[in-house]
Amino acid sequence: MKINNAGGKIYFDYAATTPCDPRVVDKMMPYFSQHFGNPSSIHSFGQMADYAVEESRQTVSEILNCSFDEIIFTSCGTESDNLALRGAAFQQRLARDANHILISPVEHHAVLNTAQQLADIHGFEVEFLPVDNFGIVNPDDVKKKLRKDTAVVSVVYANNEIGSINPISSIGAVCRSHNIPFHTDAVQAGAFLTLNVEDLNVDLLSLGAHKFYGPKGVGVLFKRKSTSIVPIQSGGGQEFKFRAGTHNVPLIVGIAEALRISLFEQSNRIDLVRPLRDRLIEIILSSIPETKLTGHPINRLPNHASFVFKGVDGNHLLMVLDSRGFACSSGSACRVGDPHPSEVLTAIGLDPEWALGSLRISLGAFSNLHDTQSLLDKLPSLIQSLRKLTPE
Ligand SMILES: *Cc1c(COP(=O)(O)O)cnc(C)c1O
């Protein structure tokens, strides 16, 4: 497939979103106008659509190593996070008066702001797990912080801003031994890491299609059969009564096909991006003074390189990079115009002088050595000129 390169600009923001694979688009197309039936209808139009939904569910469940009725289709990764956290918190409160929520301080806003609302409006007590300087949670700390009244624990699988990978399987084992539901936001991990829910010891796991070359606007929540949740969107009986609303058939077909292809091509994609990532990290750290890598040097996503440059305005840097033809990110998509450093960079101990100068370079299917080198050739002098603009 060919990426629309927006007037010669080079895309370095695969962690924000990926282009939808044309093979996925082809598979989705008949379900817009041709096989348009409502999967809940009894007649053959409905049955045709229902078959596509259930076949997609089967595909996803095989990849996650779970049963078909543990897969809930949602509208995005954010919705999956909301349903997992709210759904488990309300259920645990109803069942056993549990009011304590344990999350890491490096969660995506979809988890962070959901937990915040559960605290502000619903009176849950939200506690943050400690993280090390790489933004990684230690399972022993989970063990120490778990309480009898803990309703749900949520720890991001791979962080979107700094790329660090959490020891999900060990954290899950701790939660399981205390019988506390454990959720992981695997949206960023979906393209690169194992999604085997048995190996991961998770009860709830969120995915979003557009991070692995699927369409925007569709997600999956894995929900273990033995883990109960309260539905957040009420209405009809779709998705085993956990997520009401007429199925978005084409997008459900799309997420399953994207996940299938992504898994099939995963090792090739890793072989492509990892050496480019290593080159970015090595050369940027050695050629630009007062630069730090954010996140773990090894235990990180293979496509993800993230940095902070002391005394540089990160948003300014992104605009200048864009004008030179490079589409990068600061790491968090929701920071434009916000003078506060990100929660994640603060949580790993960076002061604002560093944290406001963040840059995330994320690679993917169309990355190559030529484009990567072109960025590496220009970045040092760009940083130097931006530093001159900022008086000490
Ligand atoms: C992108 C992302 C989300 C949000 O997923 P959407 O499908 O865009 O709603 C949640 N968590 C992480 C870690 C992400 O990278």
Give per-residue pLDDT as tens, 284-332. 999 999 999 999 999 999 999 999 999 999 999 999 999 999 999 987 6
Classified as helix, coil or strand, 291 is strand
- Which residues are CB-contacts of 34 (< 8 A; sequence separation ≥ 6)? none
| Annotated catalytic residue, options 20, 175, 328, 334 | 334
- DSSP for 326-380? EE-B-S-TT-TT--SPPHHHHHTT--HHHHTSEEEEE--TT--HHHHHHHHHHHH
Q: How far is the CA of 222 from the centre of ligand 1 (A)?
A: 15
Model confidence, pTM: 0.96
CA 314 to chain centre: 22
pLDDT (0 to 100) of residue 388:
78
Q: How many Å apart are CA 325 and CA 323, to the nearest integer? A: 5
Q: Is the model's pLDDT at 208 over the cut of 90?
A: yes
Alpha helices in the chain (DSSP H): 22-28, 30-33, 44-64, 77-96, 109-120, 139-145, 168-177, 197-200, 249-287, 314-323, 343-347, 352-355, 369-389
Q: How confident is the model over 49-58, as a mean pLDDT?
A: 98
Q: How many Å apart are CA 185 and CA 389, to the nearest integer? A: 39
The residue among 203, 197, 155, 206 whose CA lies nearest residue 181 is: 203
* Catalytic annotation present for 328: no
Paired sense of beta strands 71-74 and 358-362, if any: unpaired
Q: Is the model's pLDDT at 107 over the cut of 60?
A: yes
Dihedral sign, CA of 190, 193, 195, 200? Answer: negative
Say which range, 6-15, 292-301, 362-371, has the weakest mean pLDDT: 6-15
Long-range CB contact pairs, 40-43, < 8 A, 24+: 40/236, 40/237, 40/238, 40/246, 40/247
Q: How many Å apart are CA 1 and CA 64, to the nearest integer? A: 27
Does the beta carbon of 260 lie inside 6 Å of ligand 1? no
Does the beta carbon of 110 lie inside 6 Å of ligand 1? yes
Q: How far is the CA of 188 from the centre of ligand 1 (A)?
A: 7
Q: For residue 229, name the pLDDT band (cuts at 50, 70, 90).
A: very high
- For 338, what's the count of Cα atoms within 13 Å in the CB-facing half-sphere? 12
Pocket-testing residue among 160, 206, 213, ligand 1, by greatest number of atoms within 8 A of Cβ = 160
Q: For residue 152, name the pLDDT band (cuts at 50, 70, 90).
A: very high
pLDDT (0 to 100) of residue 150:
98
Q: Which atom of ligand 1 is nearest to the CA of 81?
A: 10
Pocket-testing residue among 185, 210, 248, 342, ligand 1, by greatest number of atoms within 8 A of Cβ = 185
Q: How many CB atoms lie within 10 A of CB 19?
A: 18
CA 344 to chain centre: 14
Mind listing the pLDDT tens digit for each residue in 234-256? 999 999 999 999 999 999 999 99
Does the beta carbon of 304 lie inside 6 Å of ligand 1? no
Does the beta carbon of 190 lie inside 6 Å of ligand 1? no
Integer angstrom CA distances of residue 349 from 111, 261, 288, 298:
21, 38, 21, 19
Q: Is the model's pLDDT at 1 over the cut of 60?
A: no
Q: What letter would DSSP give residue 69? A: G
Does the beta carbon of 205 lie inside 6 Å of ligand 1? no
Q: How many CB atoms lie within 10 A of CB 336?
A: 9
